[in-house]
Amino acid sequence: MEQFHPDIKDVLLSEDDIKKIVSCIGDQISTDYEGKNPLVIAVLRGAFIFTADLMRAIKTDCEVDFMAVSSYGDGVKSSGVVRIIKDLDTKIEGRDVIIAEDILDSGLTLSYLIKALGARHPKSIEIAAFLVKDIEGKKPAVTPRYVGAHVPDAFVVGYGLDYAEHYRNLPYIGVLKPEVYS
Ligand code: IMP
């Protein structure tokens, strides 16, 4: 039997599940953006692994750039405060932009980013969210065009997602044992 990290309570998505999900999003983007050379923006750090895999799953011409924002610090709850720590190197005026996000929780981070990037007059902005967290009675502040999978309202790690910078290297998505962060 495969051994998972001792801090992981449950595995929600295996490596195989993740491969299928990313390939499916890649296919949709390849069809929708044929001949458009979209700019895929990875929101660091969480989306770096998803973006690397997604780029390889997109079969049409595309480019990549990176942004870093702070939203969570080392905690587990959204602070609502978003700061651009690293900006794009690419001009996005007139470009088709796809923001690749690791997980959509409240959506506050992306709603802020869309406003900030929208002011630069891209041709279009869409979101590809690898995960969307389902929170009862709450709707995220933005609606992603591409969604990999929905996860329950728990703190998840792996495949780029961290808790206090740990667990990003786990190749699967797992629920962190609450005792690790409480
Ligand atoms: P939002 O602004 O509430 O949508 O938060 C989005 C960001 O918070 C994500 O890009 C992640 O970096 C982080 N985040 C939210 N939920 C989780 C989680 O369950 N595990 C790890 N990071 C998370």
pLDDT in tens, 149-164: 999 999 999 999 999 9
How far does residue 1's CA lie from ligand 1's centre (Å)? Answer: 30
Region of residue 38 (left: phi > 0; alpha: psi -120 to 50; beta: else):
beta
Beta-strand pair 83-86/63-70: antiparallel
* Ligand 1, atom 15, residue with closest C-alpha: 105
What's the structural domain count of the chain? 1
Annotated active-site residue 105? The verdict is yes
3 confidence band (pLDDT: 50, 70, 90): confident
Band of the pLDDT at 77, cuts 50, 70, 90?
Answer: low
**Which pLDDT band holds residue 122 (cuts at 50, 70, 90)?**
very high
Catalytic: which of 105, 134, 153, 162? Answer: 105
Is residue 160 a part of any domain in this protein? no
What integer pLDDT is reported at residue 81 of this predicted model?
Answer: 66
C-alpha distances in angstroms, 78 versus 72, 81, 82, 181? 5, 8, 9, 15
Compute the distance between CA of residue 146 and CA of residue 158 in angstroms, rounded to an integer: 20
Residue nearest to atom 3 of ligand 1 (CA): 106
Tell which one of 105, 106, 127 to mutate to probe ligand 1, the residue whose CB is within 8 A of the most ligand atoms: 105
The yes-or-no verdict on residue 2 having pLDDT over 70 is no
Q: Is 162 domain-assigned?
A: no
Question: Side chain identity at 120, as an amino acid letter?
Answer: R
Q: In this predicted structure, what is the pLDDT of residue 182?
A: 82
pLDDT tens string 136-145: 888 888 999 9
CA–CA distance from 15 to each of 3, 128, 173 (Å)? 13, 19, 8
Domain presence at residue 72? yes
Is 165 a domain residue?
no
Residue 56 lies inside a defined structural domain of this protein? yes
pLDDT of residue 140: 83
Closest CA to 122 of 5, 48, 40, 1: 40
- Going from the Cα of 40 to the center of ligand 1, the distance in angstroms, rounded, reads 19
Q: What is residue 135's predicted lDDT score, i.e. its pLDDT?
A: 87
Q: What pLDDT is recorded for position 70?
A: 79
Tell me the per-residue pLDDT of 8-67, one tens digit each, with 9 for 90 and over: 999 999 999 999 999 999 999 999 999 999 999 999 999 999 999 999 999 999 999 999
Q: Could you tell me the two tokens for 162?
A: 């961290």
160 close to ligand 1 (CB < 6 Angstrom): no
Closest CA to 90 of 56, 42, 53, 151: 42
Residue 77: which domain range? 15-155
Asked whether residue 68 is domain-assigned, the answer is: yes
Predicted pLDDT at 92? 98
Residue 7 lies in a domain: no
d(CA 47, CA 59): 19
Instruction: Report which residue type is found at 118.
Output: G
As given in the structure block, the two tokens for residue 69 are 């924002």
Higher pLDDT among residues 79 and 142, named by residue: 142
Ligand 1 atom nearest to CA at 162:
21
For residue 109 and ligand 1, the question of a CB distance below 6 A is answered with yes
pTM recorded for the entire structure: 0.94
Percentage of the chain modeled with pLDDT above 70: 93
Average of per-residue pLDDT across 99-128: 95
Strand order in the sheet with 8-13: 8-13, 173-176, 156-157
Please check whether residue 164 lies inside any domain of the structure: no
CATH number assigned to the domain comprising residue 80 = 3.40.50.2020
How far is Cα 147 from Cα 154, in angstroms, rounded to an integer?
Answer: 18
